[in-house]
Amino acid sequence: SRLIALVPAAGSGSRIGTAVPKQYLPLAGRPLLAHTLAALLVHPAIDAVAVVISPEDEWFDSYEWPQELAVLRCGGASRAESVANGLVQLALDDDDWVLVHDAARVGISQAALTRLIATLASDPVGGLLALPVPDTVKRGDSENRVADTLPRADLWLAQTPQMFRAGLLKQALAAAPLAEITDEASAIERLGFSPRLVEGEAGNFKVTYPQDLTLAEALLSARAG
């Protein structure tokens, strides 16, 4: 079976608030998306990399991209819809592995990719990178008063990549409410399966708010230097 990376990059970046979608913001001299794709393209265990962009994307074609990159212009209204549409476009066998990775997570390291892929190689379900929650977690009520303190020991923050067999992932997304789910694992969970949590890393944060760009730039230049 093959291992295919699928990168949803069809969002608008509303929380970062720039006119240009965040995947095209300049970071260390290249569009943000280029850094994410490069990390996947260079990994020896990944057989092919595909990116999902919006059919209305006005920016992608202004840049040069690696020739081996597959470009799918089928982004949807939600991240999950973009992933589901992308899976339809790829000719995959049911037992091929799909590694879904957010365009906005530029800091993914080769070591974290290797850890995820190696840990899941013979896993019956698949899984995701995730970080144990470092802070004490409160549930708040509508007046911002603490309703509850959650036991931190069991809590993880989901990252990407999330890696599942193509057949199972397609089945899970076909059954899930795509507007509501924010990751692949939750669709798999809805089928009754329990994805494996593999330790991620702080540097694999998602560029979401303006201040995240400064952090990402520092991380990438530290690695390059």
Residues that bind ligand CTP (CB under 6 A): 8-15, 22-23, 52, 75-79, 82, 102-104, 206, 208
Taking the complex as a whole, how short is the minimal distance between the CB of residue 25 and ligand CTP, in angstroms? 11
Do you know the residue count of the chain? Answer: 225
SS3 annotation, 57-80: CCCHHHCCCCCCCEEECCCCCCHH
CB under 5 to 8 A by kind: which of ligand CTP, Mg ion, none does 31 bind? none
For Mg ion, give the closer residue by CB, 21 or 126.
21
CB under 5 to 8 A by kind: which of Mg ion, ligand CTP, none does 30 bind? none
For ligand CTP, give the closer residue by CB, 154 or 211.
211
Taking the complex as a whole, how short is the minimal distance between the CB of residue 140 and ligand CTP, in angstroms? 21
Taking the complex as a whole, how short is the minimal distance between the CB of residue 9 and ligand CTP, in angstroms? 5
> Where does this chain bind Mg ion (CB under 5 A)?
11
Taking the complex as a whole, how short is the minimal distance between the CB of residue 133 and Mg ion, in angstroms? 21
Distance from chain centroid for Cα 162: 7
For the record, the structure tokens of 74 come out as 């089928």
CB under 5 to 8 A by kind: which of ligand CTP, Mg ion, none does 100 bind? none
DSSP for 143-198, please give it. TS-EEEEE-GGG-EEEEEEEEEEHHHHHHHHHHS-TTT--SHHHHHHHTT--PEEE
Taking the complex as a whole, how short is the minimal distance between the CB of residue 27 and ligand CTP, in angstroms? 13
Q: CA distances (Å), 82 to each of 10, 98, 135, in order?
A: 7, 14, 32
CB under 5 to 8 A by kind: which of Mg ion, ligand CTP, none does 85 bind? none
For ligand CTP, give the closer residue by CB, 102 or 184.
102
> What 3-state class would DSSP assign to 132?
strand
For Mg ion, give the closer residue by CB, 149 or 211.
211
For ligand CTP, give the closer residue by CB, 126 or 160.
160
What's the burial of 201, exposed, middle or buried (CB within 10 Å: 0-12/13-18/19+)?
A: middle
Q: How many CB atoms lie within 10 A of CB 3?
A: 17
Q: Which helix (H) or strand (E) holds 129?
A: strand 126-132
